[in-house]
Structure 1
């Protein structure tokens, strides 16, 4: 014998006669066994709707000071997905429409009620509730995946205006939810040409995969990212959207760059040590031979003095270059002391001020107040800053140059910006800027910025360079504060 399904009903009704009638109709069902609990008071009914375990609510429209629609709306607001059937004493089109709008599963006029109609209405409501419950569980699961993802996720409409974003997106781009939902995706791209390629790929292929691109957060900070996006059609509701996932590559790219610089510095060190070993010995012999020769040659012979001075001067220059190569590449031994970054900058400016005055460079300072002190090797950091400042001065036209030096505190970091309005650096050269022997200066060795990078690396400091040709260059040095 087939088991009769049991259905637990909460009957919210203040008329006892109607309660008896409803119980009688439900008792006639051959398919269901109805377990009916009666509650005449709306306030107690609300508590039971939220905390009880019922399969269906039968709700009278008129309940004294409140009506059944209020209870249905209350259940919806509390996230209760148990189906509601509204019972009313007389037919009213507005009540019917309101019941549908508020989320009622059905609307029944009591004068037309009979056992068959009531059972059919409940059966339909339970069937629909099963579908809704399944959809609700899926929605919760996917919403949890959406919200808990450590990668930024977004949904955008056909015009690529953001419709929804997860918490990781807000944290990554530093927007509030309201700010983010006012954006279009084009506004987070650094370069228009990148967005145009992204947009055309979506329109032609309806997806784009593993697109490496630079995005900008609210503070216009660059974020190297891997972007995936796909078009999601919905034929039923005629609603469509684009879903995208962003993976942050900034730290990985920085680590790769730092590793590459470290490898190049290591290579430079090996070359320098080889040269020092292979060149210094014969150079020493050459210098000793020259000294011996000078002692034996006539002192008043101007020709002898001229050529011996040339040999000595160039031998000393070779020795100096070897020393510079060794110093630029070997790890720095630090004498760390709690130091004020602003004071170090002032002392560095003092070392470069004559060169600035000679080139008629205007200096602008903007130092943040009350910056915390940092553990630094003061003398070595001065060398690093001086190399950047000297490069900036040499990149500007005499009489037209403006050098701006700023300090600020943000995100537990002290940031130093050295900004010039010089000739700028080609984009393809920025990545090679700290490479050993890379230089565009006539007679330069290309080791100054290599040494600077080495010093900053030894302090666990970050350095970033941005530049536009004919507009200028900005060096951004960031010192991390202990957490």
Structure 2
């Protein structure tokens, strides 16, 4: 069970408060927009009403003052201006005559018959149509609206004066402010209500999310066995349901993974025990030539001290005292397609040890080898046992050889004995000594050859192994006896593979093997025929076949063809094929004979890859 993690607290505003803040801002914006719209609409409405009222006052005053303007009745005009100014929204009323002078100014008789030069007065005396102007009065009345209404005679062409009515906008502003305060009050109440509603709504929305968040926190800490029950009929409920399904699937996968992890742990322990107890050495090396792992048996075979930790070291450091193994492993790492097994002789404590080395390649998903595992098996004792077995076999064959030897030497000894017995009696007989000198040395040489072949068959071999080109060796042998083959009307066919390469062998001994096989094949074809020499290489072995088109051999002969002193020839000791088999065996190979009556025979020599 994993240790519980500390709760990760959010560094942002929670969703509930963001929802309330969003609703509050929306209400404030809505209230501000409402106040602005009401302010504009109310101001426009009141101004339109005041303007209409001012125009009405100015128009009535113009109708009643037209005759007084024509007669320059300033007293009547003054009185009319004062009466019009009695309206509560009117600040003052000014009547200009035709020349632009003040004909009447409400409550300002001192300005009568004077010409005003302020901007609004100049606009008034020059106006040809009714006009409206807003501005700030010099008095304390605040913002104002001035209505300018020109007065024309009945012909509507001659302007005879101007009526100017100045109205106050202060009541309008006061009414607008009252409306704003009312809207603000109502808006504040609505804002409080909206915040309370938003708080309630946010709580209903975020409460299931909070519960789901607590559940996910527990799940993140490893508690997947939870009863997720969130009664929400919306997207949150769907989310909780899906999360519940996901948690159950995670729990199932977690249980399965824990079981698999336990199995892997057991397999790992099992593999480690096998590696520790197995007799073969295992050495794992990456393609970069660094040691990844080795077992105790490999330490023993490679004579690596327990104080040294080879993991991560280059194999040149680990195998510095066994250069033969190092060179072979480097070749395999560079080209993993080489032969799978090799016999390598190393020196350990100044004593030769024979190591049978195999390997396997671990591939990645892209089929690129990433690691090579070498298997090292010390076969020194096995090799010694094989040598003793071969020696024992030779001793066992001595009985067979002795029987054959007795038969083979009886005739030469009988001839020598006969001539030795007749020697005192016929020494002076003409021609006897000549016959004696021909027969006795011949039989002695025959006995000497027999002894030499027996010694070659019985003695412990002492071969000189070197790397030899296989095709060149076979071609040299054929070239040597090709003249004799031609003389016997025998056609020699050579069928060699394109990539025979080199073999590790004693050239002289192998030359004797194939020379003997070719000579035997030629002897069974006295009337001529075809001799075929084939050589093929197949990864871990090289096969050389010698075929003839002679009469063939019966099955009984095939079973004893390699037995010493067995021969089908009128002349011969029967040791040639026995010696041939011995030489091939000492090279780690094998020789087999097949034959079909009246079609010919085939001798096949197979050498293992470690000899190639």
**TM-score surpassing 0.5?**
no
TM-score norm. by structure 1 comes to 0.44
Q: Which has the higher helix share?
A: 2
TM-score norm. by structure 2 comes to 0.36
Larger Rg: 2
